[in-house]
């Protein structure tokens, strides 16, 4: 859609153009709490089936209206309707998919599992690249017909996998009042060669219970969610406004614009599993890595903004956009795995579906505020494109400072570090 929209609605202003795109995160933001309750009451697999089916409805709606409307107003309404349906799908998909990953993997495999699951972003490689080629060859109807076929296949795959059998949830041992697993009376620490030097969390944290928005009172959890939103905020600003700039200023074709996004998405797909490996196998502290990635996002957006005033498309602009995929993919993986680890080990969470629905809300906040802030700066505050992107990058710097403070502040750091591992003898 980000490639087709500037071509089919070239007359739109930056604010109107962004409004069509942000309809999806607005709907998802409102419906995420309801979706989280639905996932808790049913199952994460059911949520994924319904979400996949919504994409079939969205593509069908667009194809029907493309076949019957040829006026700009008709195109605007069909794209807006499609984005509204996608918003409902997004509200279900995030708590269902992420909740399923966390429930079926333990602390030592979770980050890598999230990173590997996010290899599904490879579908994003085909979207801009193939979508632009299909539009140049056969128009909007051909492009959306291919999307419909892909959506139907995804529904069938999810349904068949569920029918064949879902993986069982990872068991969580009950804990006594002191926070130790019940039935274990003698704790023998592992040899000193194993890195177990992390501080234990304050007494009582393991027995605290939280539900819903109460979890936002924990600074480390809130910081993780803000970091997730920041990565998507920068990416959504790029995907919403750069095609509009390229189409109007450089007169690029749809296929060429799609090609420019491919390197960023390739690096995102590679950096996600790599970041998970650093956390799981190399013992890198999640918050430290998150802070570094937020700073990387800030620097890359400032660099990208400095190239947007060129009269011709410079190679440095393509390079900056591509490199943004590294911190973008890493943040996606690390924040999801870190939030799951925190909820699994440090706090007894009632209703994980609602907890991950809150995470989905922050994900959609990033999708919403990226285009909204950038477009508002361009059209309302009369900023140039370059100054708008540099301003967004500068906003990430205080967030990176907050992440580093949470990492090195011992009472807060304890919420996200892994508990010491023991050999135990059961009486």
Q: With respect to residue 247, please indicate whether it lies within any of the assigned structural domains.
A: yes
For the ranges 38-47, 161-170, 390-399, the lowest mean pLDDT is seen at: 161-170
Distance of alpha carbon 375 from its chain centroid, rounded?
21
Residue 378: its pLDDT value, please?
83
Residue 327: its pLDDT value, please?
94
- CATH number for 66: 1.20.1250.20
User: What does the alpha-carbon distance between residue 118 and residue 386 come to, in Å, rounded to a whole number?
Assistant: 30
Domain that holds residue 299: 5-165+190-426
Q: With respect to residue 413, please indicate whether it lies within any of the assigned structural domains.
A: yes
Q: With respect to residue 370, please indicate whether it lies within any of the assigned structural domains.
A: yes
Q: What digits encode the pLDDT tens for the residues 101-158? A: 767 776 666 666 766 776 666 566 567 777 778 888 888 788 888 888 988 998 998 8
pLDDT for residue 380 is more than 50:
yes
pLDDT level of residue 320 (50, 70, 90 thresholds): very high
Average pLDDT of the segment spanning 241-254: 86
Q: With respect to residue 277, please indicate whether it lies within any of the assigned structural domains.
A: yes
Q: With respect to residue 148, please indicate whether it lies within any of the assigned structural domains.
A: yes
pLDDT for residue 407 is more than 70:
yes
Average pLDDT of the segment spanning 249-267: 86
Q: With respect to residue 150, please indicate whether it lies within any of the assigned structural domains.
A: yes
Residue 395: its pLDDT value, please?
93
Q: Minimal CA–CA distance to 340: which of 110, 37, 32, 96?
A: 110
Residue 305: its pLDDT value, please?
92
Q: With respect to residue 180, please indicate whether it lies within any of the assigned structural domains.
A: no
Maximal C-alpha separation, the chain? 77
pLDDT level of residue 75 (50, 70, 90 thresholds): low
Q: What digits encode the pLDDT tens for the residues 164-179? A: 766 666 555 444 444 4
Residue found under tokens 């420019």:
260
Residue with more model confidence, 327 or 412:
327
Q: With respect to residue 253, please indicate whether it lies within any of the assigned structural domains.
A: yes
Q: What digits encode the pLDDT tens for the residues 346-368? A: 554 555 566 677 777 888 888 88
Q: In the chain, how many domains are there?
A: 1
Residue 122: its pLDDT value, please?
59
pLDDT level of residue 291 (50, 70, 90 thresholds): very high
């Amino acid at each position: 859609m980000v490639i087709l929209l500037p071509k089919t609605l070239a007359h739109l202003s930056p604010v109107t153009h962004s409004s069509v795109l942000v309809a999806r995160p607005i709907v998802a933001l409102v419906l995420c709490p309801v979706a989280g309750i639905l996932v808790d009451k049913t199952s994460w697999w059911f949520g994924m089936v319904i979400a996949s089916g919504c994409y079939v409805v969205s593509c069908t709606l667009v194809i029907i209206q493309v076949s019957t409307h040829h006026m700009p107003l008709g195109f605007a309404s069909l794209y807006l309707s499609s984005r509204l349906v996608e918003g409902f799908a997004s509200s279900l998909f995030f708590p269902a998919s992420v909740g399923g990953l966390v429930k079926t993997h333990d602390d030592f495999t979770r980050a890598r599992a999230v990173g590997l699951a996010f290899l599904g972003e490879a579908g994003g490689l085909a979207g801009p690249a193939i979508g632009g080629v299909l539009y140049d060859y056969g128009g909007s109807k051909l492009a959306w017909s291919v999307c419909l076929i892909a959506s139907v296949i995804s529904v069938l795959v999810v349904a068949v996998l569920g029918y064949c059998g879902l993986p069982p949830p990872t068991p969580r041992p009950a804990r006594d009042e002191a926070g130790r697993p019940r039935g274990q009376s003698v704790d023998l620490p592992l040899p000193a060669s194993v890195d177990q030097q992390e501080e234990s969390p304050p007494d009582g944290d393991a027995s605290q219970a939280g539900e819903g928005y109460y979890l936002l009172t924990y600074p480390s959890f809130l910081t993780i969610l803000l970091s997730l939103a920041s990565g998507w905020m920068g990416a959504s600003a790029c995907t919403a406004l750069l095609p509009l700039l390229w189409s109007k200023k450089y007169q690029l074709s749809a296929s060429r614009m799609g090609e420019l996004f491919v390197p960023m998405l390739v690096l995102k797909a590679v950096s996600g599993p790599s970041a998970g490996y650093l956390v799981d196998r190399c013992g890198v502290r999640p918050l430290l890595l998150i802070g570094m990635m937020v700073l990387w996002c800030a620097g890359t957006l400032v660099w990208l903004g400095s190239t947007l005033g060129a009269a011709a498309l410079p190679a440095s602009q393509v390079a900056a956009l591509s490199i943004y995929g590294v911190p973008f993919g890493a943040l996606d993986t690390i924040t999801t795995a870190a939030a799951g680890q925190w909820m699994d080990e440090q706090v007894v969470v009632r209703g994980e579906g609602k907890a991950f629905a809150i995470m989905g809300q922050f994900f959609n906040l990033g999708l919403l505020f990226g285009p909204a802030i950038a477009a508002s700066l361009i059209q309302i505050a009369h900023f140039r494109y370059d100054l708008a992107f540099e301003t967004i990058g500068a906003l990430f710097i205080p967030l990176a400072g907050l992440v580093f403070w949470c990492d090195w502040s011992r009472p807060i750091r304890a919420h996200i570090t892994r508990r010491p591992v023991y050999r135990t003898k059961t009486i």
